[in-house]
Structure 1
Amino acid sequence: MTRTEIDIIAVGKLKENYLRSAQDSLLKGLNHRAGISVIEIKDEKTKEGASLKELERVKNLEGKSILKHLDARARIIAMDLRGKKTNSDALKKMLAVEQMDGQKIQFIIGGSLGISEEVLAMAHRRISFGDMTYPHQLFRVMLLEELTKLI
């Protein structure tokens, strides 16, 4: 069986030590079973009270940076609040299908404004961990934790 290759393309850096520590610990355990890379995209600053047009511009700038890292041969999974709600079992089945095909998997985690429509259009799947909203930095750790149970 081939080694699973997974990229997590995430907007923003982990600023808090406890989140970086959690990420590093989870990656260490996961990398024994799969090739996991975290690619951090610069988060664009948004002014307080910015207009909708400005917010969309910022989201599109982040999207352009994400697009530079997408692999045309990979299965792209966007983590999107409007995506199909999933649970651990469904995610496990989905990953099993992708692994059987030998596909590299790229998870996209947008910034606080979400993911640009251009990036969402490139995604093979759009999934959500539910209706609750999590800070995107914390969500990265949550995704890694979920992957430790599934890979």
Structure 2
Amino acid sequence: MNVSIVCIGKLKEKYWVNAVDEYSKRLSKYCTLLIDELKEERLPDNASAAEEEAVKTAEGKSILKRIKKESYVITLEIKGNQISSEKLADKVSQLGLDGRSDIVFVIGGSLGLSAEVSQRADYKLSFSTMTFPHQMMRVILLEQIYRAFKIIKNEQYHK
């Protein structure tokens, strides 16, 4: 299975880089993982709503260019579906059984996702109604993908 994470912004802090590297290494046993870091658009200080929308639109265009037509797209959105780790594992497993072997998870920038990216989603996933920094969300997502594969393979993992 091919799993991609398309995300806005680069990881700067070493602790985030180390965590992503660790989960990437763990996931290599279960899938081919690609993390596609896209440029974060500059947002002027005291930006207007129109300027914020322009940033989301530009980032959205970058994201959509990276998604293949046949990919199954899961966007991370506050208003998405909140599911358990077991349900995520079921979803990933079912996608594999359905022949959908190319899954793309999308993490937006600090302003969220453009409407166009949200509309492209096959599934909208929410980890919480709270907002998290996108760097932290990348690590949380990787951990949950890893946990999903452990559940699918019926391998032990701490609860």
For 2:91 and 2:32, locate their aligned partners in 1 and report how far apart those are by CA, in whole Å: 18
Q: Percent identity?
A: 39
For 2:116 and 2:129, locate their aligned partners in 1 and report how far apart those are by CA, in whole Å: 23
The answer for unaligned runs of 5 or more in structure 2 is: 150-159
Secondary structure of the 1:131 match is coil
Residue in structure 1 matching 2:27, options 27, 30, 38: 30
For 1:82 and 1:56, locate their aligned partners in 2 and report how far apart those are by CA, in whole Å: 18
Tell me the equivalent position of 1:58. Answer: 55
Shift of 1:6: 0.5
Where do 4+ consecutive residues of structure 1 move more than 2 Å? none
The one-letter code of the counterpart of 1:59 is K
For 1:17 and 1:102, locate their aligned partners in 2 and report how far apart those are by CA, in whole Å: 37
Residues paired across the two proteins, number = 148
Tell me the equivalent position of 2:132. Answer: 134
TM-score (norm 1): 0.95
Find out whether 1:69 has 2:66 as its counterpart: yes
Q: Is the 8 A contact 1:12 1:43 kept in 2?
A: yes
Shift of 1:150: 1.1
Tell me the equivalent position of 2:155. Answer: none
The one-letter code of the counterpart of 1:12 is G
For 1:73 and 1:25, locate their aligned partners in 2 and report how far apart those are by CA, in whole Å: 29
Shift of 1:102: 2.5
Tell me the equivalent position of 2:41. Answer: 44
For 2:68 and 2:84, locate their aligned partners in 1 and report how far apart those are by CA, in whole Å: 26
Residue in structure 2 matching 1:114, options 112, 115, 127: 112
For 1:134 and 1:18, locate their aligned partners in 2 and report how far apart those are by CA, in whole Å: 16
Tell me the equivalent position of 1:97. Answer: 94
The one-letter code of the counterpart of 1:129 is F
Q: Is the 8 A contact 1:10 1:39 kept in 2?
A: yes
Aligned CA RMSD, in angstroms, stands at 0.8
For 1:94 and 1:9, locate their aligned partners in 2 and report how far apart those are by CA, in whole Å: 19
The answer for unaligned runs of 5 or more in structure 1 is: none
